[in-house]
Amino acid sequence: MTAQRSNTLVVAVGLLATLALSAGCRGNKSKDPPIHPNWNMDDQQYFQAQEDNDWFPDHRAQRPLVAGTVARGLLKADDHLYRGRGADGRLVDTLPPSITLDEALLDRGERRYAIYCAPCHEQNGRGNGIIAQPGSVATGLLVKPPSYMDPRLQAMPLGYFFDVISNGKATMRPYAAQIPVEDRWAIAAWVRVLQVSERAAKADIPPAELGKLNSGGAQ
């Protein structure tokens, strides 16, 4: 190695040591911006939401979604479950296959009904809920809720109640935003329970239950 070369090496090592020292040690606090020798593509120009971008004729940097865009997992293609309608587009009179009719469902429906519907429709579905009563502090119901025992509503398919809860009806507001889809079916099933309890005949009661009723042992 020549003397000149070794000098260059000493200078290079010295420079590197200075650089390392000036970069500081891990854990040291500094108010200066961090040393960032190699920028690669770490910091690029970008637009923020709602910023102006004159390149587009409408000046919106944030581009509108392509028509028909569906967020992942939100396709909701099941018409029976999400719209209460069959393949022919008509309202169904059955629960969606993914929902089982059992005591737990009706129990859930009863409790959700008490929260979301009974204030107007009354616990028994006759339409004289606390809000619907004359002189109620929450006056604002232009139309009194109908009774579910009304023959017109008694004849409606189950999907109709799901549809009214989801999309509202005339002056009644929709509840799709507040009530998840499974709970809307549970409530629809509970509305049906209220209706059936009104129109049920003695012959509809299973003999075992009838025995309990006759002996006064029913709860």
Which residues would be at the binding site for ligand HEC (CB under 6 A)? 116-117, 119-121, 131, 141, 143, 145-146, 153, 161, 164-165, 169-172, 175, 187, 191
What are the distances in angstroms from CA 129 to CA 118, 120, 134, 139, 160? 6, 4, 10, 12, 21
Nearer to ligand HEC, 149 or 210 (CB): 149
Nearer to ligand HEC, 61 or 124 (CB): 124
Could you give the C-alpha distances from 108 to 100, 159, 194, in angstroms and in order?
A: 12, 18, 14
Tell me how far apart the alpha carbons of residues 101 and 39 are, in angstroms, rounded to a whole number.
62
Q: How far is the CB of 177 from ligand HEC (least distance, A)?
A: 12
Nearest approach, Cβ of residue 204 and ligand HEC (Å): 22
Could you tell me the smallest distance in angstroms from the CB atom of residue 104 to ligand HEC? 19
CB of 34 vs ligand HEC, minimal distance in Å: 56
Site of tokens 């889809």 = 181
Provide the sign of the torsion angle of the four alpha carbons 109, 112, 114, 116, taken in this order. Answer: negative
Nearer residue to ligand HEC within complex by CB, 154 or 210: 154
Nearest to 80 by CA among 105, 61, 97: 97
183 contacts: CB under 8 Å, gap ≥ 6: 108, 109, 112
Nearer to ligand HEC, 61 or 106 (CB): 106
Radius of gyration of the chain measured on its C-alpha atoms: 34
Smallest distance from the beta carbon of 110 to ligand HEC, in angstroms?
Answer: 12
Residue closer to ligand HEC (CB basis): 81 or 191: 191
